[in-house]
Structure formats: C-alpha cells, structure tokens
Amino acid sequence: MTDLEYISLILKGDTALYKHLVDRYAKMSFAVAYRIVKNRDDCQDIVQDAFVAAFENLKNFKGESKFSTWLYRILANKALTFKNKQKYFDEIEDIGKQEEEYNEELDIATEELLKEALKILSDKERLVIDLFYYQDQSIKEISLITQVTEVNAKVILHRGRKKMNDYIQNSIKFAHNE
C-alpha cells in the first residue's frame, strides 16, 4: 500500500494504520535526527515528537510532496528547535558556572560594600530585603509579616534594591576615580 493510500484510510478513521507509516520511516527518521543532535536518547524523543506532530497534522498534508519529505521537514524542525534550546541551556549553564566562579572570588570588600549598602536602607526596607533574599520568604509571606499589602511589599523591595544598587554603583564609580 502506498503512503497516500494509508493516509487516506487514516483520515477516514482507521488510525491504527499510522503504525505502518511509523514503521516505514522510523529508521530514516532516527538517522536524520541523529545527524542534527548527535545523541541517541534525544533522537528518540525528537522522532517520537515528530511522528506525533505529523499524525496530528495529517489532515494538512496536501500530497504535493512525498509523505517522507513532509515528515522529514517536521522532524528537521523539531531537531533544530531542540538543538537551539539545548545550545541556549548550555550557554545558561556556562553563565551559571562563571557566576559561581565569580561569587567564589568575592572578597571581604564586596561583602562589606553590601553591608554598608544595607545600612542606608530604612528599617522596613532592610527587613523586606532580609526576608526576601536571606530568609527566602515570598512576597505574600513578607506581606503578612510586615503587615503591608503585597503591592506595598513589592514597592518596598523595589525601593530597597534601587537604593542599594545606586549606593553600590556610586561606590564603585568613586573607587575607580581615586
């Protein structure tokens, strides 16, 4: 039976026949995906996603190209999207590692600068900053603790961060100008 004959019957409701198309194109689909992502486990997921997407969009297949061409286009898009996401996550991971290394290199002067920045805050700002960053409290929890609305808790947090940031930036500029 040809691909078009299978597709016609599948679209008429005999969805179990889709297995024949999967069996026919599974190996080649895996090979196409593997050439792009070069990881067997990821390829299996991508191929499965592509077959599901093809099945869900089978009614959109016009027959202007071979079914395999249409399927491989879906597959290639899935694989390239995955690879781009993976590249993005790898970059994020690299940034995270760099941040960890940088944080390990923070010296006492930087910690002192943060302590000094905290001193310029009002008592309520310092409390909200402490609760949010050091005690891992949510805005809702901070609202309950400080007896202000959640909106006000957000405003206090924002103002405190802004004051600290301005203080630190000015301190850095001053240090560079000396």
CA separation for the pair 46, 52 (Å, rounded) = 10
CA separation for the pair 34, 39 (Å, rounded) = 6
Composition of the chain by helix, strand, coil, percent to 5: 85, 0, 15
- Burial of residue 72 (CB within 10 Å: 0-12, 13-18, 19+) is buried
| pLDDT the model gives residue 98 | 66
CA separation for the pair 57, 42 (Å, rounded) = 22
| pLDDT the model gives residue 84 | 82
- What is 3-102's CATH number, 3.30.420.40, 3.40.50.1100, 1.10.1740.10, 3.20.20.70? 1.10.1740.10
CA separation for the pair 55, 6 (Å, rounded) = 12
CATH of domain 107-177: 1.10.10.10
**What DSSP designation does 16 have?**
G
- Residues in the chain, pLDDT under 50: none
| pLDDT the model gives residue 89 | 67
Domain boundaries, the chain: 3-102, 107-177
| pLDDT the model gives residue 94 | 65
The tokens 């310029």 sit on which residue?
120
